[in-house]
């Protein structure tokens, strides 16, 4: 509410969305706590009541805001949602079962990305978009950088949001620029040194380990739009990055 109120006062045309822990009960019972960080969501509805006209103290008005948590929990079993969330579901399954010397095969994980299993896997994690302003079908690096230049206060509010989730095992930053902007979020005072790279760990292009033992991974967006990318090879690459980081953490 505080973030919404601040935006309505200072940037009334900005808009807002809900995201975070998809299903609290399933998250609490999950063997690992994993946060996926993406850029923004694609606003397809044209009939939403404008953000600056909402009375955010009223439940009915708040229902006008897109709720990613509800969407991932209840509305992604349809076949039309496969392009992003089937890959995310596979990755979640792999990371949940990963150890320093084992991860599920792609054949096994592949079954977790179908309409029957997708939602069950997504309920285990938290997913946030670092742009709470509704977007379009894509957001490139230049647009992302421009957003944070225009709304630098987002770093503080995002840090406040992430602090609510406690100790995380993995943070997977998905898409160009997300890793770099997450590192700026991580430097906010509200997070302390939880996401400061530990002294014995060199920050690599694909991951680092924080002082509190969280593995922060720099990876592609699960939509896999770039030419030459294959879902099986990218699954394997993510597992190998996570496994390498986990082995380093254990030592």
pLDDT tens, residue by residue, 52-94: 888 888 888 888 888 999 988 887 766 555 678 899 999 999 9
The predicted pLDDT at position 135 comes to: 72
The predicted pLDDT at position 77 comes to: 63
> What stretches in the chain show pLDDT beneath 70?
43-44, 77-82, 137, 200-204, 225
The predicted pLDDT at position 204 comes to: 67
The predicted pLDDT at position 179 comes to: 95
The predicted pLDDT at position 201 comes to: 62
Tokens 């397809």 sit on residue: 44
Instruction: Encode pLDDT of 115-132 as tens digits.
Output: 788 889 999 999 999 998
The predicted pLDDT at position 73 comes to: 87
Tokens 């005072």 sit on residue: 189
Domains along the chain with CATH numbers: 2-250 (3.40.470)
The predicted pLDDT at position 63 comes to: 87
24: number of Cβ within 10 Å: 12
The predicted pLDDT at position 78 comes to: 61
The predicted pLDDT at position 82 comes to: 65
Q: SS3 of 183, please?
A: helix
What are residue 108's phi and psi, to 5 degrees? -70, -45
Give the separation between CA 130 and CA 37, rounded to whole angstroms.
7
The predicted pLDDT at position 248 comes to: 87
Give this prediction's pTM.
Answer: 0.93
Give the separation between CA 156 and CA 168, rounded to whole angstroms.
19
Secondary element (H or E) of residue 226: none
The predicted pLDDT at position 203 comes to: 62
The predicted pLDDT at position 103 comes to: 97
Pinpoint the alpha helices (H) of the chain: 2-10, 24-29, 59-62, 68-74, 82-97, 106-110, 118-122, 141-150, 154-163, 178-186, 231-250
165-175 burial, b for 16+ CB within 10 Å, e for fewer?
Answer: beebbbbbbbb
């Amino acid at each position: 509410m505080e973030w919404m109120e601040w935006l309505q006062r200072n940037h009334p045309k900005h808009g807002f969305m809900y995201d975070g822990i998809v299903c609290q009960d399933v998250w609490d019972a999950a063997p690992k706590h994993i946060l996926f960080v993406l850029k923004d969501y694609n606003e397809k509805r044209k009939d939403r009541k404008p953000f600056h006209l909402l009375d955010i103290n009223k439940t009915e008005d708040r229902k006008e805001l897109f709720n990613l948590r509800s969407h991932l929990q209840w509305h992604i079993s349809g076949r039309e949602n496969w392009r992003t969330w089937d890959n995310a579901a596979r990755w979640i399954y792999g990371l949940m079962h990963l150890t320093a010397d084992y991860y599920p095969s792609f054949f096994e994980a592949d079954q977790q990305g179908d309409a029957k299993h997708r939602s069950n896997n997504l309920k285990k994690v938290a997913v946030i978009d670092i742009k709470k302003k509704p977007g379009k079908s894509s957001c490139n690096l230049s647009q992302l950088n421009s957003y944070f230049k225009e709304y630098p206060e987002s770093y503080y509010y995002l840090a406040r949001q992430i602090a609510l989730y406690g100790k995380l095992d993995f943070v997977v930053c998905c898409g160009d620029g997300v890793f770099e902007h997450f590192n700026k979020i991580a430097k906010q005072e509200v997070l302390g040194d939880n996401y400061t790279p530990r002294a014995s760990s060199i920050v690599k292009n694909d991951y680092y380990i924080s002082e509190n033992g969280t593995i922060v991974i720099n990876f592609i967006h699960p939509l896999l739009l770039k030419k030459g990318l294959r879902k099986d090879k990218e699954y394997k690459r993510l597992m190998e990055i996570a496994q390498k980081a986990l082995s380093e953490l254990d030592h």
